[in-house]
Chain A
Amino acid sequence: MSDKPQKIGQEAAAARPAKRGAKRDQHGWRETLRAYGRSHKASLHDSVGRLWAQPISTLLTWLVMGIALSLPMGMGLLLDSLEKLGGSWQRAAQISVFLELRLPEAESQALSLRIADMAHVADVELISREQALAEFQQQSGLGEALKELPENPLPALIVVTPKEVERAGLEALLSELQGLPGVAQAQLDLAWVERLAAMLSLGQRFVFGIALLLIAGLLLVVGNTIRLAIEGRRQEIEVIKLVGGTDGYVRRPFLYIGVLYGFGAGLIAWVLLAFGLSWLNDAVVRLAGLYQSDFALIGVPVEEGLLLMLGSVMLGYCGAWLAVGRHLRELEAQVQ
């Protein structure tokens, strides 16, 4: 070590941000950037070491945050699945056109073709009286009793799938179908679709509210954890400030801790959701099968998972930033 002291500002300038417009040579900038990089590396290393040194407490924090994150995210994914179910609006809005009981089959087929040619109709399916009876026998469990009937009481049916699902258009189509010769009755049931939409909207609001509360809770969890970490390092922070550490330097390891908490929590939430939804899906598929539906829950798409991770990391970062900012001001007063 050379005994010669530096001139004021000589060495410290290496880590000092240049004033706007000041000319710095390239070497100076490179060294400043290197110093900055080394400082970040040291902070990250220090933060990982501190979390590693307290594995139980770190794991518990990750779990608390992960579970809290997985709840709104899981509910959101369930709603998405339900929306997809309700998203088959066209099927939901099918119009059942019951034909007159005595209408000959040839005329039924001709009527079916006529309806298929209509502008707002996407698809038609003719269910003959025999098919209708067979289905009814199968689904009602009254097979033997129905066989005793002297004649088939069921009319032929044309199931009309409209091109667009829009209430006014559907009602116009319904009235057009109703007026066709040979049609006994046309039925459209939009009520359950509207009910589902209303329930989904309510669910979305509920999930949004829960998500907001849980995000606030997570910020508090991170903030409190960081506060405890700051308390544990109060003496160190005071010394760092006395020997020339900037607020940024003091803040950095805590921000890394926040980010690491967020990262771990995001990962746990992703894993919990993936396993949880897969576990739930078995039961949902079985239930949907009983209703002749192929409905299944959506898993966690990779993009959503990555967004969850990003959001979680941001939460950790913001929580840490808020906590450190508040405590730095307190510490500043105490250093004096």
Chain B
Amino acid sequence: MIRFEQVGKRYPNGHTGLVDVSFRVHRGEMVFVTGHSGAGKSTLLKLILALEKADAGKILLAGQDISEITHAQIPFLRRQIGVVFQNHRLLPDRSVFENVALPLQILGLSREQMTKRVHAALDKVGLLRKEKCLPQDISTGEQQRVGIARAVVHKPALLLADEPTGNLDPRLAAEIMGLFEDFHRAGTTVLVASHDLALIARMRHRLLTLQRGRIIGDGESG
């Protein structure tokens, strides 16, 4: 599903993002990426999303070389990926329903299809009854769950999450991780970047550890 081959990334300010990183994530696998702040976790996710371009190596997503795609192809690549952000990036002037429907609107789905899918996604994260609320009217944990619903509403093959539990208390963080496990069990490939080792340790999944842009560990968490 994801294949990094000797990928390197250095930022114009001289900061090292990744150095000679190689790994593979198989379809349906759930993988945690961990490491200290600045270790390269976010860079890795940004490269998959084509938000950044690698300076060296190859990144293959389902066989497609991301480093070779054109600017016009990038949106179509991103439509195959669901992304969850630490700060959830919800639109404050849109309701929960409208926030979740955004990727479907982009795909041009009909109102009926959209309603069906959004309701299903909100049901999955337990927020069906809050579809008319604005993001600021719900709790932080609920906001993150809306972010997850938005990430999965178009049924992406790959779900990426960048520090999805960073702003949450341990109970909510565990709930959110539980949701990721649900999607993983349903067959979605999940890649979660997190520095919350205690939380990761409670789950038995593959763990990639980054330090100063290099992979220093590839094993199982817990």
Could you list which residues of chain A lie within 8 angstroms of chain B, going by C-beta atoms?
Answer: 1-12, 14-16, 34-39, 42, 235-236, 238-247, 249, 335-336
Q: How far is the CB of B60 from chain A (nearest CB, A)?
A: 11
Are A241 and B156 neighbours in the complex by a CB distance under 8 Å? Answer: no
List of B residues within 8 angstroms of A246 by Cβ: 72, 75-76, 106
In the assembly, what is the distance between CA of A38 and CA of B156, in Å? 22
List of B residues within 8 angstroms of A11 by Cβ: 79, 107, 154-155
In the assembly, what is the distance between CA of A6 and CA of B150, in Å? 15
Is B170 part of the binding interface, using a Cβ–Cβ cutoff of 8 Å? no
Could you list which residues of chain B lie within 8 angstroms of chain A, going by C-beta atoms?
Answer: 1, 46, 49, 51-52, 61-62, 64, 72, 75-80, 83, 89, 91-92, 102-103, 105-110, 116-117, 119-121, 123-124, 150, 154-158, 183, 186-189
Judged by DSSP, the binding face of B is: mixed
Are B108 and A34 neighbours in the complex by a CB distance under 8 Å? Answer: yes
Given that A3-B186, A4-B186, A4-B187 are known contacts, is A243 also in contact with B155, CB under 8 Å in the complex?
Answer: no
In the assembly, what is the distance between CA of A5 and CA of B64, in Å? 18
Are B46 and A336 neighbours in the complex by a CB distance under 8 Å? Answer: yes
List of B residues within 8 angstroms of A3 by Cβ: 183, 186-187
Partner of A39, one of B49, B92, B105: B105
Q: How far is the CB of A27 from chain B (nearest CB, A)?
A: 15
List of A residues within 8 angstroms of B72 by Cβ: 246-247
Partner of B89, one of A9, A34, A238: A238
In the assembly, what is the distance between CA of A6 and CA of B77, in Å? 13
Are B76 and A243 neighbours in the complex by a CB distance under 8 Å? Answer: no
Given that A5-B186, A11-B155 are known contacts, is A244 also in contact with B76, CB under 8 Å in the complex?
Answer: yes
Are A243 and B80 neighbours in the complex by a CB distance under 8 Å? Answer: no
Are B186 and A336 neighbours in the complex by a CB distance under 8 Å? Answer: no
Are B51 and A336 neighbours in the complex by a CB distance under 8 Å? Answer: yes
6 closest A-B pairs by beta carbon, nearest first, are A1-B120, A35-B108, A244-B79, A3-B186, A12-B79, A8-B62
